Amino acid sequence: MQPANIPYFERPLFFFDQARFRRALSEGTKPPLEIFKDAVGAADHQMAERFREGEDVRTLVHERALFVDCLLHYAWHQYDWPEGITLLAVGGYGRGELHPHSDIDLLILTSDSSAPHTIENIERLVAFLWDLGLDIGHSVRSVDHCIELAAEDITVATNLMECRTVVGDERLYTVLNERMAPENLWPAEEFFAAKSAEQRDRHSRQRDTEYNLEPNIKNAPGGLRDIQTIGWVAKRYFRVRTLKQLQGKGFFTEEEFAILQSGEDFLWRVRYGLHLLAGRAEERLLFDYQRELAKQFGYQDSGTQLAVEQFMHSYYRIVMALRELNDVLLQFLDEAILQRGERQSVTPINERFQLRDDTIEVTQTNVFIEQPSALLEIFVLMAENPDIEGVRASTIRLIREQRHLIDDRFRKDSVNADLFMQLLRSPRGLSTQLTRMTRYGILGRYLPEFGRVTGQMQHDLFHIYTVDAHTLQVVRNMRSFRSPEAWQKFPIAAEIMARMRKPELLYIAGLYHDIAKGRGGDHSKLGVVDADAFGRRHNLSSRDRRLVCWLVEKHLLMSFVSQKQDISDPEVVHDFAREVGDREHLDYLYALTVADINATNPELWNSWRASLMRQLYESTHRALRRGLENPIDREEIIEETQAQARSRLLDMGLDGEAVSEIWAQMGEDYFVRESADNITWHTAAIHQLHCANEKGDPNDTLVLTRNSGPGEHDGATEVFVYTPDRANVFAAVVTGLDMLNLNIHDARLYSSASGYTLDTFYVLDESGQPLLDEPGRLEQIRDTLQQELSLVEDYSKVIKRRTPRRLKMFELASRATLTTEPGDQYSTLEIISADRPGLLARIARIFIAHDLRLHNAKISTLGERVEDVFHITDADGEPLLDESANRELEEAICRELDAHQVKDQAH
């Protein structure tokens, strides 16, 4: 901005012909509002074009504010004003910054004498500005009222700190500015404490991460508000109007000022483009805007990364650097303001470090130059001493300035390898120190492979963090398994951690499990190379190195088996146990998998997934204890399960012959895959239905609901359907459940010899939880399914619910893979497609059209995509063996799903 004492009509705005504008107003041939609107429209168009052509965003942001200054100047003079009133710009506009749809915050400052006879003109002015289409936020106050409000509210005080006169009586501004001085209101100490608390609250509302999928570029950590917070506090303390005036005052280095400026430039470009795309003051970098901005900023898809992923990689790296700088500068101000004049105790730690009160610092400025290993040692000391609360700002600066000393020679030094392993073995503070090392740029230099994934994201709804943030969260989760609270939330993981031979091996696997993301190829296999190199450099034994490499390669295995295979099948469990090999590998893999799932997306871990993981772990543990050479026999399972269920049914008063008659209609699979508890529940209900029919109350359909108890498949609501076996049953049930906003996670389907189908569906609500035991809710499920099944002979309903905004942003070509292994009684069909309402019902309809029978389904939703597995046969119950026909079926399924995906996205 130019100096405030230059009259508005003399400031150069080359795109706005002020002489012509004034002439149009004076001639009176057009209404003033129309003349103003023409000027605004022309300016908006011209500035948008300049932005798209790549003009410096600072010029545009400041010129927009200057243009609004001019408009307000001319609008103000459409009315008569007495002395003792002035129009002030406050907030961001007060700083001379305006993005296309930023609020234009105005304060009409009045003296007590001017207020009564100006109300009408103020109302007319504000109405005129609103009619003009400006995003005006205004208040009318006296100086006393301003000071009263500012004393109570730090936000008001901050806005007034940056106010400036647009037009009117300059003396009022002078009085307000004097009364806002630190010696009169909000001294530097109080102001700093309040703004620091405000920032902590703001970060907390953004989940305290700069890595959200659709980040808020203004309020998230490392965003524009962090830059402004630095400015507000520093300007209050040093009594300057701009950050540039702080150069040479020892507040920041030239490099730090350059980071602030370049980071703000980037975020301003993003924000300016975001406002233009959204047509409003949008601060969230939503998926559709990310793609368009990536294109506008010149990013292009490569073989390994989409253009939008490259753009967001740049974004995350920049906001991470800004958050790091925010930490340093606020820590510096904390020491300069809050700790000023306090008596400080200095306690030596060793010849390199000392404690100043509760923060660590170097004993002299050449420590890192003379002994580079101290760049790791400082984090080891903090991990081993929980009383150290942080690092002095001067030492953080030295770490940042000297981190270039971490090179190949540094990494090959056995002293540094020992220090890093010492950190991994520390009993507390590991995840805190790894996070701190990341923020100070140390971890990415010591582990260059980790540095390469810093800020790297995947453009989907499944992975909600960047690779580095996810990795650190995995380690944090692993450490949390050692806490007392974990015994309730993660009992198996807590028990495993309590007896684990070398927890540091688990942490290393956590650090390396996703290290090869973004390189192309299988990241699990590529990561093994890096993990092995780490193990050799850090002197791990061959046994430990093999375990870490195995974990990195197999880190997805347990999740895959539990969610996509039938873990009630003893053969599936035996195959998994053979892959695992022993109890130690099982323990490590379970802990890694649970930590990984919880760090990928908080919504993924629910009672259902916990149940699947626990079942697979316990079943595999039993298989290993029994011995891999002694696989469990199917007949043994059937006999044991039937004996337990029969005993319970007889205790309930059922006749043994009646039980045998019902069971005679069931196939072996039913008794292998179902628990004794479920068999008891089903049999008693079927018997009751038969008795009712004999009494003249015929009903051919039974629908039962309950929440699973402790044991198999707990953590979900079970829906059991017993009805005559017809082609549309599955389609009717899944449609009914979709209408009720219930998500199916598993489906077990059996056909009885008497012509009935017995289907069990495991469902969760939209928040991933079992339904509450509310009679009305469970009754609604039963009534809805009975209604849908009553129409099953002529069934045509398809869900028409609106596809959520986020899902519409992702186009995913469907993939269908149909396989039949030798000896299998079913063919396995895996479908990967874009998630949307009614998808499962549509798939069921495809099965009907191709005369296929469905026997089992494993439903898995991963963000914007589904990865569903179906076990199917032909109409005669035989697996699909014709390879040519199978390929045609795969293509037909994809065509059908993709055609409907296009229609759904269009709505």
Tokens for 42? 């022309």
| Secondary structure class of 654 (helix, strand, coil) | coil
Half-sphere exposure of 754 (CA within 13 A, CB side): 14
- Report the C-alpha gap between 835 and 798 in whole angstroms: 15
Domain boundary among 664, 686, 708: 686
Cβ density class 855-881: b for 16+ within 10 Å, e for less: bbbbbbbbbbbbbbbbbbbbeeeebbe
- Report the C-alpha gap between 524 and 513 in whole angstroms: 7
Percent of the chain scoring above 70 in pLDDT:
93
Name the helix (H) or strand (E) containing 256: helix 254-278
Please give the C-alpha separations between residue 339 and each of 185, 192, 392, in angstroms, as whole numbers: 20, 12, 12
What range defines the domain where residue 760 resides?
Answer: 687-906
Tell me the longest C-alpha to C-alpha distance in the chain. Answer: 105
Query: For 719-740, how does the pLDDT look when each residue is reduced to its tens digit (9 = 90+)?
Result: 999 999 887 888 889 888 988 8
| Secondary structure class of 422 (helix, strand, coil) | helix
| Secondary structure class of 708 (helix, strand, coil) | coil
Please provide residue 292's backbone torsions phi and psi, each rounded to the nearest 5 degrees: -70, -40
Alpha helices of 554-582 — where are they, by DSSP H?
557-564, 570-580
What pLDDT was estimated at residue 464? 78
Does the residue 646 lie in any domain?
Answer: yes
Q: What is the mean pLDDT of residues 398-418?
A: 97
Name the helix (H) or strand (E) containing 435: helix 430-439
What pLDDT was estimated at residue 635? 87
User: How far is C-alpha 85 from the chain's CA centre?
Assistant: 49
Tokens for 354? 């000392």
Q: Position 471: which residue type?
A: T
pTM for the whole structure: 0.86
Confidence of residue 6 (pLDDT cuts 50, 70, 90): very low
The answer to whether residues 114 and 83 touch, using CB atoms and an 8 Å cutoff, is yes
- Report the C-alpha gap between 335 and 327 in whole angstroms: 12
- Report the C-alpha gap between 40 and 759 in whole angstroms: 65
Residues 698 and 680 in one domain: no
Please give the C-alpha separations between residue 753 and each of 98, 187, 649, 690, in angstroms, as whole numbers: 75, 85, 22, 16
Query: For 487-500, how does the pLDDT look when each residue is reduced to its tens digit (9 = 90+)?
Result: 999 999 999 999 99
Q: How many domains does the chain have?
A: 6
Residues 143 and 276 in one domain: no
Nearest CA to 567 out of 494, 622, 646 is that of 622
Tokens for 23? 């002439």
Please provide residue 383's backbone torsions phi and psi, each rounded to the nearest 5 degrees: -65, -35
> Which are the contacts of 353, defined by CB distance < 8 A and separation ≥ 6?
360, 361, 362, 363, 367, 374, 377, 378, 381
Confidence of residue 806 (pLDDT cuts 50, 70, 90): low
Query: For 621-659, how does the pLDDT look when each residue is reduced to its tens digit (9 = 90+)?
Result: 999 999 988 887 888 889 999 999 999 999 999 999 999
Does the residue 2 lie in any domain?
Answer: no
* pLDDT reading at 219 higher than 70: yes
Using CA of residue 626, residue 632, residue 635, residue 639, what is the dihedral sign?
A: positive
What pLDDT was estimated at residue 5? 45
Residues 852 and 759 in one domain: yes
* pLDDT reading at 888 higher than 80: yes
Cβ density class 632-659: b for 16+ within 10 Å, e for less: beeeebeeebbeebbebbeeeebeeeeb
Q: What is the mean pLDDT of residues 570-584?
A: 95
Q: Checking DSSP bridges between strand 104-110 and strand 136-142, what pairing results, if any?
A: parallel
User: How far is C-alpha 441 from the chain's CA centre?
Assistant: 23
Q: Position 270: which residue type?
A: V
Q: 319: domain CATH number?
A: 1.20.120.330
Domain boundary among 158, 185, 212: 185
Does the residue 420 lie in any domain?
Answer: yes
Nearest CA to 371 out of 393, 344, 390, 352 is that of 352
User: How far is C-alpha 153 from the chain's CA centre?
Assistant: 32
Residues 656 and 671 in one domain: yes
Residues 465 and 423 in one domain: no
Domain boundary among 409, 439, 469: 439
Name the helix (H) or strand (E) containing 827: strand 827-834
Q: Position 399: which residue type?
A: I
Q: Checking DSSP bridges between strand 827-834 and strand 865-874, what pairing results, if any?
A: antiparallel
Pick the residue with more confidence: 596 or 459? 596
Does the residue 29 lie in any domain?
Answer: yes
Name the helix (H) or strand (E) containing 764: strand 756-764
What pLDDT was estimated at residue 591? 98
| Secondary structure class of 434 (helix, strand, coil) | helix
Pick the residue with more confidence: 354 or 768? 354
Residues 377 and 244 in one domain: no
Confidence of residue 123 (pLDDT cuts 50, 70, 90): very high
Nearest CA to 244 out of 255, 233, 231 is that of 231
> Which are the contacts of 595, defined by CB distance < 8 A and separation ≥ 6?
474, 475, 477, 478, 481, 493, 510
Confidence of residue 13 (pLDDT cuts 50, 70, 90): confident
Name the helix (H) or strand (E) containing 857: strand 852-858
Residues 62 and 178 in one domain: yes
What pLDDT was estimated at residue 907? 47
- Report the C-alpha gap between 619 and 570 in whole angstroms: 9
- Report the C-alpha gap between 373 and 402 in whole angstroms: 11
Residues 141 and 214 in one domain: no
What pLDDT was estimated at residue 303? 81
Our CA angle for 571, 678, 772, nearest 5°, is 115
* pLDDT reading at 857 higher than 90: no
Confidence of residue 352 (pLDDT cuts 50, 70, 90): very high
What pLDDT was estimated at residue 247? 80
Query: For 227-252, how does the pLDDT look when each residue is reduced to its tens digit (9 = 90+)?
Result: 999 999 999 998 888 888 888 777 88
The answer to whether residues 430 and 475 touch, using CB atoms and an 8 Å cutoff, is yes
Please give the C-alpha separations between residue 766 and each of 284, 610, 763, 770, 832, in angstroms, as whole numbers: 24, 17, 10, 10, 21
Name the helix (H) or strand (E) containing 749: strand 743-751
- Report the C-alpha gap between 848 and 651 in whole angstroms: 42
**How long a stretch of residues is the chain?**
907
Residues 737 and 673 in one domain: no
| Secondary structure class of 82 (helix, strand, coil) | coil
Q: 422: domain CATH number?
A: 1.10.110
Residues 204 and 178 in one domain: no
Least trusted range by pLDDT, from 464-473, 594-603, 681-690, 808-817: 808-817
What pLDDT was estimated at residue 1? 37
Nearest CA to 661 out of 694, 628, 696, 623 is that of 694
Our CA angle for 124, 88, 83, nearest 5°, is 70
Does the residue 53 lie in any domain?
Answer: yes
| Secondary structure class of 138 (helix, strand, coil) | strand
What pLDDT was estimated at residue 3? 41
- Report the C-alpha gap between 97 and 594 in whole angstroms: 47
- Report the C-alpha gap between 182 and 201 in whole angstroms: 24
The answer to whether residues 297 and 52 touch, using CB atoms and an 8 Å cutoff, is no
Tokens for 390? 């942080």
Does the residue 483 lie in any domain?
Answer: yes
Query: For 260-314, how does the pLDDT look when each residue is reduced to its tens digit (9 = 90+)?
Result: 999 999 999 999 999 999 999 999 999 889 999 999 999 999 888 889 999 999 9
* pLDDT reading at 619 higher than 70: yes
Does the residue 858 lie in any domain?
Answer: yes
The answer to whether residues 718 and 707 touch, using CB atoms and an 8 Å cutoff, is yes
Query: What are residue 137's DSSP bridge partners?
Result: 105
- Report the C-alpha gap between 57 and 297 in whole angstroms: 13
Query: For 169-178, how does the pLDDT look when each residue is reduced to its tens digit (9 = 90+)?
Result: 999 999 999 9
Please give the C-alpha separations between residue 76 and each of 19, 27, 276, in angstroms, as whole numbers: 17, 18, 28
Using CA of residue 550, residue 554, residue 559, residue 560, what is the dihedral sign?
A: negative
Nearest CA to 765 out of 789, 784, 738, 783 is that of 738
Least trusted range by pLDDT, from 209-213, 674-678, 771-775: 771-775
Residues 76 and 177 in one domain: yes
User: How far is C-alpha 339 from the chain's CA centre?
Assistant: 37
Alpha helices of 133-180 — where are they, by DSSP H?
143-152, 154-161, 170-179
Torsion angle of the four alpha carbons 895, 898, 899, 903, in this order, in degrees rounded to the nearest 10: 170
Q: Kindly report the average pLDDT of the chain as a whole number.
A: 89
Alpha helices of 279-306 — where are they, by DSSP H?
287-296
Does the residue 1 lie in any domain?
Answer: no
Residues 691 and 681 in one domain: no
